[in-house]
Homo-oligomer: A and B are copies of this chain.
Amino acid sequence: MRTLIKRALTSESAQESITIKGWVRTRRDSKAFSFLEMNDGSCLANIQCIADAGIPGYDDVAKMTTGAAVGITGKLIESPGKGQKWEIQATALELIGESPEDYPLQKKGHTPEFMRSISHLRPRANLYGAVFRMRSRMSQAVNRFFDERDFTYVHTPIITASDCEGAGEMFRVTTQDPASDKPQKPENDFFKKSTYLTVSGQLEGEAYATALSNIYTFGPTFRAENSNTTRHACEFWMIEPEMAFCDLEGDMDLAEEFVKYLVQDALDNNEGDLEIFNKFVDKGLIERLKHVAKKPFQRVTYTEAVEILQNSGQTFEYPVEWGINLQSEHERYLTEEHFNCPTTVYNYPKSVKPFYMRTNDDGKTVTAMDLLVPGIGEIVGGAQREERMDVLQANMKEHNLSEEDYWWYMDLRKYGTCPHAGFGMGFERMLMFVTGMKNIRDVIPFARTPGSCEF
């Protein structure tokens, strides 16, 4: 039986015989023995193994170069070295798979761009291994958060014929070949109509919330937008809770609690991975995360936010006046300069928001909210939805949407309608916030961006 290095390193006692299997990180030889630093990706730390010359398998030791797969059996003993509790005194070595000299991860200090070009190998590097273990832990934390609060996980569809209006450009899904020299009709396509990759599961999520009360989605979403920034990918994971009998305040409460929960979970359960980000990516990271987990978030209305920005004395590229959509520079000023903590802005102008948000009594704002965090900007966007059929119909008319296309969405208002609210969180943006990683391409195993769909 093989023991994961993570388990060996946290063993409660010494062990007479243990077998680990993994990949060589470094090896140092002397005449009488060799030191092998072994890693199997189960945790950041290596385990040190001492192999005396002459033990079974030692003949192959020269081939146990960086990246080679090796099995080591031996005694788990207390390490005399600093910084680690256990090491292995090997009794047998097994060379499993060699690693030739051109192994790209032999040397350190590669650029992120180079690492993206070897996305199939980069999880073997310390930093990226840590990123993707954090990604896994945060996924578990997302599901745990909602499970603990009686939310039902709903898998909303990926292929869709409707669009969540205003969310973004869509990819087409088809079995027809655009390279064909004859125009092909949608009614002859696989689904007998034009279909797309979803930009949001919200509308379907509303159907389930108005049946099961508290639901959430957690799955991939897509944008066919030609924007090459550090924060945009064409394929990313999104979390979208939706709650029946819930208003904007309850929605903001949940969003803030959720962000705090994920940050606290990362602080509590990271098995040393957070250290590498704090050391090599962002020196203030752990301090900032602790601050966010502890300090109450700020809340301001859009109208108040506009006043703050206008009185800030700052010069913005996009001038600030009531009615504009807040730009990244404005959001960052609010959360990084003015409040210096995560900030929720709510009650946005109706004219800049989609048809499904609830109109406030003032007639000119809607119950939208964005949660902004330092360094990233918008990490959550949500709203209380318009539950009043007549107001929804009027909004759809203003947005030139046909009631026919949304017949089933209208039904949710026709039969037992109720106030309900929800939000979307970009999973990768949250992961960037918690790891300090600066480019979304580096927190997605195989990123899809305009012109790039490798592996």
Contacts of A455 in B (CB 8 A): 157, 160, 162, 204, 207, 408
Of A99, A121, A415, most buried by chain B (CB within 10 Å of CB) is A415
| Residue in B21, B123, B150 whose beta carbon sits within 8 Å of that of A207 in the complex | B123
Structural contact, A155 and B135, CB atoms closer than 8 A? yes
State the main secondary structure of chain A at its contact with B.
Answer: loop
Contacts of A100 in B (CB 8 A): 414-415
The verdict on A121 contacting B415 (CB below 8 Å), with A140-B147, A152-B132 known, is: yes
* A318 CB within 8 Å of chain B: no
The verdict on A212 contacting B41 (CB below 8 Å), with A157-B445, A204-B455, A219-B220 known, is: yes
Contacts of A28 in B (CB 8 A): none
* A35 CB within 8 Å of chain B: no
Structural contact, B181 and A178, CB atoms closer than 8 A? no
Structural contact, B173 and A152, CB atoms closer than 8 A? no
Flag the segment in A187-195, A256-264, A325-333 that touches B: A187-195
Alpha-carbon distance A374/B368, docked complex (angstroms): 50
Interface string of A156-175 (1 = CB under 8 A from B): 11111110000001011111
Q: Kindly report which residue of chain B lies nearest to residue A103, judged by CB atoms.
A: B415
Structural contact, A41 and B211, CB atoms closer than 8 A? yes
| Residue in B140, B155, B244, B411 whose beta carbon sits within 8 Å of that of A121 in the complex | B411
Structural contact, A172 and B177, CB atoms closer than 8 A? yes
The verdict on A211 contacting B124 (CB below 8 Å), with A178-B178, A204-B455 known, is: yes
Of A169, A177, A413, most buried by chain B (CB within 10 Å of CB) is A177
Contacts of A453 in B (CB 8 A): 157, 159-161, 191, 193, 195
Interface string of A424-455 (1 = CB under 8 A from B): 00000000000000000000111010111111
* A340 CB within 8 Å of chain B: no
Q: Kindly report which residue of chain B lies nearest to residue A71, judged by CB atoms.
A: B245
Interface string of A232-257 (1 = CB under 8 A from B): 00110100000011000000000000
The verdict on A224 contacting B21 (CB below 8 Å), with A97-B387, A100-B415 known, is: no
| Residue in B97, B155, B172 whose beta carbon sits within 8 Å of that of A417 in the complex | B97
Copies in the complex: 2
Chain A interface residue count, Cβ-Cβ cutoff 8 angstroms: 112
| Residue in B172, B182, B213, B387 whose beta carbon sits within 8 Å of that of A176 in the complex | B172
Alpha-carbon distance A172/B411, docked complex (angstroms): 32
The verdict on A69 contacting B417 (CB below 8 Å), with A152-B133, A191-B453, A192-B451 known, is: yes
* A107 CB within 8 Å of chain B: no
* A40 CB within 8 Å of chain B: yes
Structural contact, B174 and A22, CB atoms closer than 8 A? no
Flag the segment in A2-10, A49-57, A280-288 that touches B: A2-10
Q: Kindly report which residue of chain B lies nearest to residue A68, judged by CB atoms.
A: B416
* A96 CB within 8 Å of chain B: yes
The verdict on A183 contacting B180 (CB below 8 Å), with A132-B208, A172-B173, A212-B129 known, is: yes
Structural contact, B415 and A157, CB atoms closer than 8 A? no
Contacts of A2 in B (CB 8 A): 245
Q: Kindly report which residue of chain B lies nearest to residue A172, judged by CB atoms.
A: B174
* A23 CB within 8 Å of chain B: yes
Min CB distance, A411 to chain B, in Å?
A: 6
The verdict on A161 contacting B454 (CB below 8 Å), with A42-B150, A174-B174 known, is: yes
Provide 28 A-B residue pairs closer than 8 Å at the C-beta atoms, listed in order of the A residue: A7-B150, A24-B416, A40-B212, A41-B212, A42-B214, A69-B416, A96-B416, A97-B387, A97-B413, A120-B204, A121-B415, A123-B208, A132-B154, A133-B152, A135-B153, A140-B147, A155-B220, A157-B453, A158-B220, A160-B453, A161-B453, A172-B177, A176-B178, A177-B178, A178-B178, A181-B182, A220-B220, A408-B455
Report, nearest first, the 6 A-B pairs whose CB atoms are least far apart.
A41-B212, A97-B417, A123-B211, A176-B178, A191-B453, A120-B207
- A→B interface (CB under 8 Å): 2, 4, 6-7, 21-24, 40-42, 67-69, 71, 96-100, 103, 118-121, 123-124, 129, 132-133, 135-136, 139-140, 143, 147, 150, 152-162, 169, 171-186, 189-193, 195, 197, 204, 207-208, 210-214, 219-220, 222, 224, 226, 234-235, 237, 244-245, 387, 408-409, 411-419, 444-446, 448, 450-455
